[in-house]
Structure 1
């Protein structure tokens, strides 16, 4: 086992059944005052220091990125026929999204356990099914547990293990900023807090739908 990183699998009960799609990037025609998908993603990339936070310890790195629901919804709208063109963003967007990217010594986190088949399998099972049970979103007024997560293996293509995490928005107000908390005992670390400021959230431009 590398860098003293421990994987301990406690008893966890899976929450419900959710399906989240892997989404590709496509262009939309913009209108005045709003951005198309490509320009929107370029904005997010240019402001990644505000919308992405990183933790590192003993070779382990965890990157947390805020994913605006508008972008996730519109990409899904373009790619899946069951999302109707007349759907309203305000009515259809019910969730908050973030991604957690895990790596160890510059490679996917599961590869840190290749020498131990049991730990390797446990790590893949955790990434695939249970990451969301260790994630919460906190504002000044609310604490939201994640309701689902999805992991798609990259087999070395990205050098990181990326998990999309979903929260049910309800009436939660993100305009004052929020923190994403990851309980890291599965990898032998304390709870990690990823802060996202009100300014960073409120400066995200509108996306043309």
Structure 2
């Protein structure tokens, strides 16, 4: 009877091992399918970026002012600088160049208009905001590590649209500081720009940035 019991136990061990292996395989497949980070076109990459659940877009509305902060992957900057014909060595060089920094698009609108469009009636206020947007955003936008260390902005680009857009957008550039990415999140804040919003704060996860999506440049040749 004891021999029979051993055989019975052995008979059930094999299927259980197979079930565990199958479960693990399914988990890997599911994770891989949900975790695509290499894309065949710029359009496909942007579609991935714009899905909020992927962690690259952060939105908030305060006192009728809407803020959207979007991470801009390194390969988007690389693609913009490439000509129609390029070598993979050029891609590697540009990745090294742009990979030293983090890029974010910041879009702000009030009542679905540019911020300046809401200040046209007051010449002094309008002029002050023009200067602030063009030259003073380094004093208004801040990035802090989880330990509350300040990461200074390296540069920003503000293309004035003269009322031709429904939002005020700018590209913000920050150094890829190790202190910023060694933790699980950092803070991004925007001071009140004259719309009674108070400080607007975003909590940004570092995992999507560390595992940022890429373009398959070999297939784009």
Work out the CA distance in 2 between the residues paired with 1:191 and 1:77: 38
In the alignment, what sits opposite 1:70?
Answer: 75
Greater alpha carbon shift after TM alignment, 99-108 vs 51-60: 51-60
TM superposition score normalised by structure 1? 0.69
Q: Among 94, 101, 104, which residue is 2:110 paired with?
A: 104
Change (3 A) 1:192 1:33: closer
Work out the CA distance in 2 between the residues paired with 1:36 and 1:96: 21
Q: Among 51, 56, 59, which residue is 1:51 paired with?
A: 56
**Structure in which a larger fraction of residues adopt helix:** 2
SS in 1 for 2:109: strand
Greater alpha carbon shift after TM alignment, 59-68 vs 185-194: 185-194
* Structure ID, larger Rg: 2
Unaligned runs of 5+ in 2: 1-36
Work out the CA distance in 2 between the residues paired with 1:116 and 1:49: 41
Work out the CA distance in 1 between the residues paired with 2:38 and 2:213: 9
Q: Among 124, 133, 136, which residue is 2:139 paired with?
A: 133
Work out the CA distance in 2 between the residues paired with 1:132 and 1:78: 32
In the alignment, what sits opposite 2:44?
Answer: 39
Work out the CA distance in 1 between the residues paired with 2:54 and 2:117: 27
TM-superposed deviation, 1:36: 2.9
8 A Cα contact 1:69 1:93, kept in partner: yes
In the alignment, what sits opposite 1:191?
Answer: 199
8 A Cα contact 2:153 2:172, kept in partner: yes
8 A Cα contact 2:74 2:98, kept in partner: no
Q: Among 207, 210, 216, which residue is 1:208 paired with?
A: 216
Work out the CA distance in 2 between the residues paired with 1:143 and 1:35: 36
Work out the CA distance in 2 between the residues paired with 1:98 and 1:33: 20
Q: CA RMSD of the aligned region, Å? A: 2.9
Q: How many residues align?
A: 175
Q: Among 167, 176, 184, which residue is 2:174 paired with?
A: 167
8 A Cα contact 2:144 2:188, kept in partner: yes
